[in-house]
Amino acid sequence: MANIPSFTDLSSIKPFKTTWRIQVKIIHSWKQYTQYGGETLEMILTDSAETQIHATVKKQQISKFQRSIVPGEWKIIENFTLSKAMGRFRATKHPYRMCLMNNSTIVPYIISYLYKIFNELTDVIGQVVNIGQMKTHEVENKTKKKLEFELRNTRDARLPVTLWGSFAKRVITACQNCDDHQVTCLLRFAKVNSFKGERSVSNAFDASLLEFDPVCVEAIDFVNQLPNDGLALTIKSGVPDQTVRREVMYNRFPPCTIVELLDFNEEGKFKMMCTVYAIDRDFAWYYFTCLKYATTCFKVPKVENSVNEHNKPPLFWCSGCKENHNRIEPRYKIILHVMDSTGQTKVCLFQNEGKLLTHKTPMELLNGQLEEIQDPSKLPQAIQSLVGKTFQFTVSIGKENIRAGNDTYKVAYAFVGLEDNDLTNTQLSNEVDDLATIVSGDQTFMISNTDDSIQTEETCKTPCSKRKDEVSLDVPDESSSSKKLCIGNMKAVIEDVKNGADLEVEKSG
C-alpha cells in the first residue's frame, strides 16, 4: 500500500522535480491574455506560513481546473512544474513560479482533461518528391536551419513546404534512410502561407507535429491512391548542408567578459572564457523527452493504495502523443555557476554540450533508472568534476535575458581544448589583453579540460622562464604575493560553495 506523502512548505519547493504536494489557500485569481501565451488563469496561493507564490493554469487546462479554483478556499495541489519567476512586475516575492500540468490534481474536485484543437492550423499529408539544399539563416541573431521541399497528392499536384530547425533535420534523416522507398510525410498543425496566389505550408514554430509513413487509416488510404508511376525521390547535391565546421562558424562571434555580457541590452551571441565554480542544485540536471516527438515528458505519479510492481517501468505523460507511455529518454540541462576576473553569472548546458564535457550520456549516468531527482545534493561524478575547470562558451543573449531578467544564459557551443584559434589571436576586451587574466585575474586555473585536478601556480614546478617558451600567452609580470591572493580568492569561492552544500545536506538530513 502506497504511503501518502506529507505536505511541503512553499518556501521549500524547487524545480528539480514535479511530484510536490502542498496545502495552500487561494487568495486571488484572475484571467489574463498575452500575445505569447494566450489566455491563462492566474492565482496567488499562500500556505500556513504565509509564504505566497504565483501559479498559472494554461489555456489547455483551464476547463479542467477552473471550477476548483475558488478564492478563499484551502486546496491540496499535487504534481506541478516550477520555473523562474521573471519579469519587471512580479505578483509575489517567491523565486519560482508554479504551473499546473495535465497530471496535476486539486482536491476535492476531479474533472476530466479536455484538449482543444487549434482550428487555425491544418493537417497536411503528401509524398515527398523533391528536396532542396539545407540552408542556414540568421533569424533574430540566431542560427536556424531551413529546408524547402515538395509534397504531392493523389492527383500529382505539388505543394511547397518550408520547415525550420529540428523539423528540417528530421526530413533529411528520414529521406536518406528510406532505401529508395517512397516517403509519406504527415505535418500536423501546419501553418498555411499565401504569396501571389501560390500556397505553401510551414511548421508553426514548435506547435507542429511531424510524422513519416504514418499507420493511421487515412494515411494508408492515401498511399494506396498515389499514382503508380515509379517517381523517385530527388535530393539536390549538397545535402546535408555544406557549411563550415560548427566550431569555425561560432568562432565569428565576438569575445566578451562576464561583466560585458551582463551589460548588453541587445540579442546576440558572444564567446566567453570562464571557470566553473559550482553546479546549480535547485534545478534538475536532466529532463525527459519523448523519443517520437522530442517533447518534454513528466512522470505520472503513482495512484494511492496501488500495488507496487518493481519490474514495471514508470509511465510519463507526453503532450505530443497525448498519452502515458515509457518511450522516453533523459537529456541534459545542467546549470553552471561560472566566473572570471570581472564577475559571476550562470549558464545552461543542453544535450550536445553536456555530452561534450562529461563524455557520457544522461542514461549512462542514471544507470537506466528513469526517475525524478529526490536528493539534489547527489550529483554524478562526471558532472561534479566540472567544478574548477575552465572552458570557452558561446553564449546566447535572448529576450528572456533582456526583458524578463533571466540571469541564466544558454550555451550554444562549448569549446574543449580551444581548437578554434591560437589564444594569442583572441582578445576579450579593450581592457583585457589576453585570456590568462580573464580566468581569475591571473593564471589561477590552467586551461585543462582533460584532467580533473586543478593546477595552480603553487603546484606548478616548472620555472616561469622555461614556461614562456611552452605557452603562447604573454602573461604580465606580477608579484608572487598578488598571485597567491588571486589563488586564495578563487579557491575560497569554491570552498564556500561546497561548505554551503554540505550544510544544506545536514539540515535536510
CATH number of the 247-285+333-508 domain = 2.40.50.140
Residue 309, C-beta contacts closer than 8 angstroms, at least 6 positions apart: none
Q: Are 465 and 359 in contact (CB under 8 A)?
A: no
Q: Fold for 21-107, please state it.
A: OB fold (Dihydrolipoamide Acetyltransferase, E2P) (2.40.50)
pLDDT in tens, 43-76: 999 888 889 999 999 888 888 888 888 888 888 8
Q: Residue 409's pLDDT band (boundaries 50, 70, 90)?
A: very high
Identity of the amino acid at 109: Y
- Written as nine digits, the cell of 311 is 519490474
Please report, for residues 79, 143, 193, 240, the alpha-carbon distance to residue 64 in angstroms, rounded to integers and kept in the order given.
Answer: 15, 39, 34, 45
Name 273's bridge partners: 392
CA distance 295 to 323: 12
- Written as nine digits, the cell of 275 is 571557470
Q: Residue 258's pLDDT band (boundaries 50, 70, 90)?
A: very high
Name 218's bridge partners: none
Helix (H) or strand (E) holding 400: helix 399-402
CA distance 436 to 341: 10
Say if residue 477's pLDDT is above 60: no
Distance between first and last Cα of the chain: 25
- Written as nine digits, the cell of 335 is 546549470
Q: Are 36 and 58 in contact (CB under 8 A)?
A: no
3-class state of residue 121 by DSSP: coil
Q: Residue 387's pLDDT band (boundaries 50, 70, 90)?
A: very high
pLDDT in tens, 19-45: 898 989 888 888 888 777 688 898 999
Query: If you average pLDDT over residues 279-292, what whole number do you get?
Result: 90
Average pLDDT over the chain reads 75
Lowest mean pLDDT among 45-59, 188-202, 261-275, 367-381: 188-202
Strands 96-107 and 52-57: parallel
Looking at residue 133, its pLDDT comes to: 85
Looking at residue 140, its pLDDT comes to: 64
Looking at residue 385, its pLDDT comes to: 92
Spell out a b/e string for 126-140, using b for 16 or more CB atoms within 10 Å of the CB, else e. bbbbbbbebeeeeee
Q: Are 414 and 356 in contact (CB under 8 A)?
A: yes
Identity of the amino acid at 370: L
Cα-atom radius of gyration of the chain, to the nearest Å? Answer: 26
Identity of the amino acid at 424: T
Q: Are 161 and 151 in contact (CB under 8 A)?
A: yes
Q: Residue 494's pLDDT band (boundaries 50, 70, 90)?
A: low
Question: Can you give 421-453 as a three-state secondary structure string?
Answer: CCHHHCCCCCCCCCCHHHHHCCCCCCCCCCCCC
Residue 392, C-beta contacts closer than 8 angstroms, at least 6 positions apart: 271, 272, 273, 414, 415, 418, 420
CA distance 231 to 126: 13
Burial of 232 by CB count in 10 Å (0-12 exposed, 13-18 middle, 19+ buried)?
A: exposed
CA distance 509 to 503: 10
What global pTM score does this model have? 0.50
Taking alpha carbons only, the member of 124, 144, 126, 142 closest to residue 134 is: 144
List the chain domain ranges: 21-107, 122-243, 247-285+333-508
Identity of the amino acid at 215: V
Spell out a b/e string for 45-72, using b for 16 or more CB atoms within 10 Å of the CB, else e. bbbeeebbbbbbbbeebbebbeebbeee
Q: Residue 175's pLDDT band (boundaries 50, 70, 90)?
A: confident
CA distance 441 to 471: 18
User: Does the fold of domain 247-285+333-508 match that of domain 21-107?
Assistant: yes
Please report, for residues 199, 353, 409, 414, 494, the alpha-carbon distance to residue 347 in angstroms, rounded to integers and kept in the order given.
Answer: 42, 12, 5, 11, 17
Query: If you average pLDDT over residues 283-294, what whole number do you get?
Result: 89
pLDDT in tens, 341-380: 999 999 999 998 999 899 999 999 998 888 888 888 889 9
Say if residue 462's pLDDT is above 80: no
Work out the percent of the chain whose per-residue pLDDT is above 90: 20
- Written as nine digits, the cell of 399 is 529576450
CATH of 122-243, one of 2.40.50.140, 3.30.310.50, 3.40.47.10, 2.40.30.10: 2.40.50.140
Query: If you average pLDDT over residues 288-301, what whole number do you get?
Result: 88
